[in-house]
Amino acid sequence: MKKNKEHLARETSRIEAFSDGVFAIAMTLLVLDLKVPHSLNGNIPLLQALASEWPIFAAYLTSFATIGIMWMSHHYLFTVIHRSDHWLFLINLFLLLLITFVPFPTSMVAEYIGKSAENAASALYSGTFFIIALAFQFLWRHASKNRRLIGESVDESIVRGITSSYRFGPPLYLAAFILSFINVIAAMAVTFGLAIFFAIPPKKPAKSPLLPSR
């Protein structure tokens, strides 16, 4: 029995370790868009020059917070997923592909806020998070169907709770995507607000894994 448990732990440990590294790299790459203003026009104070770069800082903060919450959600998922199969690996790789793509739309929205192409940039940004939310949904649905990859010790109420919590991500990010064509600042605010909302610790039964936020 002990050897079997150790084997099951190894089944998902490599997925988690590799995923943690990818999440960390994606979050680190976001900071590359932050530039020191070397050239100040006229007598513009440094603080004023930095304030003028607010779109870059806003995009950085929003993306960092969102990826961070998604990393937490990914970790929570694997407190109940104790087995792996070929499709879990592939779905997880697709999810990580999307995570590593986030720095690109982040740069786009930081560059084009206040310009003619801001709606398209914002739509790419919000749309990316919408697809990531769908990928999380797909990963969980695959793992939880008939409990095929769920740990035997995990209570069914936990599985149902996670499934219920995952209903909110896709429609909320879709709303942010639609809002991108109407008001870019509002769409960014919604995306950041979602990161804060999903960061709120979920209620959990005693001695049970935490529920994820997606």
Name residues whose C-beta falls within 8 Å of residue 123's C-beta, 6 or more positions apart in sequence: 177, 180, 181
Decide if 40 is inside a domain.
Answer: no
Residue 106 in contact with residue 60, Cβ under 8 Å? yes
Residue 37 in contact with residue 50, Cβ under 8 Å? yes
Name residues whose C-beta falls within 8 Å of residue 64's C-beta, 6 or more positions apart in sequence: 27, 30
Residue 203 confidence (pLDDT): 58
Q: Which two tokens stand for residue 152?
A: 């035997």
Decide if 167 is inside a domain.
Answer: yes
Decide if 95 is inside a domain.
Answer: yes
Domain boundaries, position 96: 2-33+54-199
- Each as own residue / partner, the long-range contacts of residues 31-36 (CB below 8 Å, 24 or more positions apart, any chain) are 31/60, 32/103, 33/59, 33/60, 33/103, 33/106, 33/107, 33/110, 34/60
Helices (H), 38-183: 46-51, 54-77, 86-101, 103-112, 118-144, 156-165, 169-179
Q: How far apart are CA 95 and CA 102, in angstroms?
A: 11
Decide if 18 is inside a domain.
Answer: yes
Decide if 45 is inside a domain.
Answer: no
**What secondary structure letter does DSSP report for 85?**
-
Residue 41 in contact with residue 107, Cβ under 8 Å? no
Residue 126 in contact with residue 173, Cβ under 8 Å? yes
Residue that has been written with the tokens 């104070």 in this structure: 45
Residue 6 confidence (pLDDT): 45
Q: Which two tokens stand for residue 60?
A: 């950085």
Decide if 38 is inside a domain.
Answer: no
Q: How far apart are CA 29 and CA 22, in angstroms?
A: 11
Decide if 123 is inside a domain.
Answer: yes
Decide if 154 is inside a domain.
Answer: yes
Per-residue pLDDT of the chain (214 residues; tens, 9 = 90+): 444 444 445 578 889 999 999 999 999 999 988 877 766 665 667 777 777 778 888 899 999 999 999 999 999 999 899 998 999 999 999 999 999 999 999 999 999 988 889 999 999 999 999 999 999 999 999 999 999 899 888 889 889 888 888 888 899 999 999 999 999 999 999 999 988 888 876 555 444 444 444 4
Structural domains in the chain (count)? 1
Residue 42 confidence (pLDDT): 59
